[in-house]
Amino acid sequence: MKTINIILKGFLLFIIVNVVFAILQPRVGNFSAYNVIFPGRERLPFGENSAKAYNLSLFDLDAMFASHEINGDNKQADEFRVILIGDSSVWGTLLKPEETLAGQLNSADFSVCAKSIRVYNLGYPTISLTKDVLLLSHAMKYQPDLIIWLTTLEAFPLEKQTASPLVANNQETLLRLATRYGLKVDANDPAFIRDSFWDSTIIGKQRALADVLRLQLYGVMWAATGIDQTYPTDYQKAQTDLEADQKFHKFEPPVMDENLLALNVLEAGMNMAGDIAVLIVNEPMLISTGINSDIRYNFFYPRWAYDQYRSMMSELSLKNNWTYTDLWDAVPASEFTNSAIHLTPAGEAFLAEKIKPIIEGICK
């Protein structure tokens, strides 16, 4: 009887704890060893080979931001806080933290409005404007003075918006943003992963909770090694010989239908920023000179679509009075790594040199 009693009591306690957890939905991601025991990460956690990169991808925005150095740095009176949002080119695939755009701007050590510039890398390696806005919504509490939003046409197609796992796993946050900033979100989009009551229990969330715990453990390795991704030396270079394909997602020449682009997300992001200065940057890309480069600029873009996108962005910025800079060809083709948007350290230095005077100009 004693054994049965213990088993029954244990089982009952287990059920109660799970139900209470599902009802209260505690935001466990906010509890972090980063910025307390370990230094904060210089970029958001992302990793496909955790054992080697000492990093992992998770979808708990609280945990992601809690592990970032921005969460540990109290903004000083003489700090001009700049946040960078964007895709893997901002996050810095194949680049060490100090080699990324944020790292290069920080090492330039310059001032704006008599304040020291401090740049935070909040890029994340999936291409989607909605993902950028999602991250921006979390970043706003860190009181940025300037938001630099680097983007590219690939982030605009509607079907790309929920393709990012980070977006797919954060439907509730997005729906809140939709109400507040007019972001158009299809609540019935099948890409969204919805939590049932069962999914909200400890058992249902075991994977997510384990990820938060693993992120804390990898804090040891981050602190010990400063490594947060793998750096293969023999990666495949970005494609320069291209298919003779005129298509871009669902778009076919001669005209891109703007209704199929997430322009509303861009507007929602600008609404979210409110009075804070935003610099939208059309990020540099590889301009290929290989086979079929008369048809396509690179793996991502046929020339006709990209040219239209550049015109559209210029017009849109002008119309809405957005601060916009088009740096699409700012970096030579030799300074791209494994993708048409991933830069070498020298490429990032080129970009930083272009962006630095624009930041300095923001205060004038």
Partner 1 sequence: MTILQILIVAAAALFWGLVMRERGRKHFLLNASVLVIFWLQPALPLRGFDFWIPLATLTITVFSWFITAAEESRREKKNWGVIAILAGTVLLLNLTRFLPFDSILTPSRPPQPLTLLLILAFSGFIFLLVTRLTRFSAALLATGIIGLIVIFLAIKIPALAYWISYGIRSLTDQSLTEAKAIDLRWLGFSYVAFRIIHTLRDRQMGRLPAVDLAEYVTYVIFFPAFTAGPIDRIERFIKDLRKPSTLGNDELLIASQRFMLGLFKKFVVADALALIALNDTNALQVRSTGWLWILLYAYAFQIYFDFSGYTDIAIGISKFLGIQLPENFSAPYLKPNLTQFWNNWHMTLTQWFRAYFFNPVTRWLRSWNTPWPAPVMIALTQIATMLLIGFWHGVTWNFALWGLWHGVGLFIHNRWSDMAKVRAGEWATTPFRKFFLNMSGVVITFNFVALGWIFFALSSTSTSMQVFLKLFEMR
Binding site for partner 1 (CB under 8 A): 1-4, 6, 50-52, 213-214, 217-218, 220-221, 223-227
Tell me how far, at minimum, the Cβ of 131 lies from partner 1, in Å: 27
The CA–CA distances, whole Å, from 8 to 11, 12, 16, 198 equal 5, 6, 12, 21
Token pair 């909605």 in the structure block, residue: 130
Tell me how far, at minimum, the Cβ of 211 lies from partner 1, in Å: 12
Kindly tell me which of 35 and 152 has the beta carbon lying closer to partner 1.
35
Using CA atoms, how far apart are residues 261 and 314, in angstroms rounded to an integer? 15
Kindly tell me which of 192 and 222 has the beta carbon lying closer to partner 1.
222
Tell me how far, at minimum, the Cβ of 212 lies from partner 1, in Å: 12
Kindly tell me which of 4 and 24 has the beta carbon lying closer to partner 1.
4
Tell me how far, at minimum, the Cβ of 231 lies from partner 1, in Å: 11
Kindly tell me which of 2 and 364 has the beta carbon lying closer to partner 1.
2
In the chain, the N- to C-terminal Cα span, in Å, equals 80
The CA–CA distances, whole Å, from 275 to 78, 79, 97, 320, 323 equal 19, 18, 29, 14, 13
Tell me how far, at minimum, the Cβ of 224 lies from partner 1, in Å: 3
Tell me how far, at minimum, the Cβ of 99 lies from partner 1, in Å: 17
Strands 115-121 vs 111-112: parallel, antiparallel or unpaired: antiparallel
| Contacts for 237 with CB less than 8 Å, ≥ 6 apart | 336, 337, 338
Kindly tell me which of 197 and 231 has the beta carbon lying closer to partner 1.
231
Kindly tell me which of 51 and 203 has the beta carbon lying closer to partner 1.
51
Kindly tell me which of 217 and 255 has the beta carbon lying closer to partner 1.
217
Tell me how far, at minimum, the Cβ of 28 lies from partner 1, in Å: 16
Q: Would you tell me how many other CB atoms lie within 10 Å of the CB of residue 145?
A: 20
Using CA atoms, how far apart are residues 303 and 313, in angstroms rounded to an integer? 15
Using CA atoms, how far apart are residues 334 and 50, in angstroms rounded to an integer? 30
Using CA atoms, how far apart are residues 173 and 29, in angstroms rounded to an integer? 15
- Name the 3-class secondary structure at 35: coil
Sheet bearing 146-151, strands edge to edge: 111-112, 115-121, 79-85, 146-151, 277-282, 323-326
12 has which bridge partners?
none
Cβ atoms of residues 272 and 133 within 8 Å: yes
Cβ atoms of residues 36 and 67 within 8 Å: no
Kindly tell me which of 15 and 210 has the beta carbon lying closer to partner 1.
210
Tell me how far, at minimum, the Cβ of 45 lies from partner 1, in Å: 14
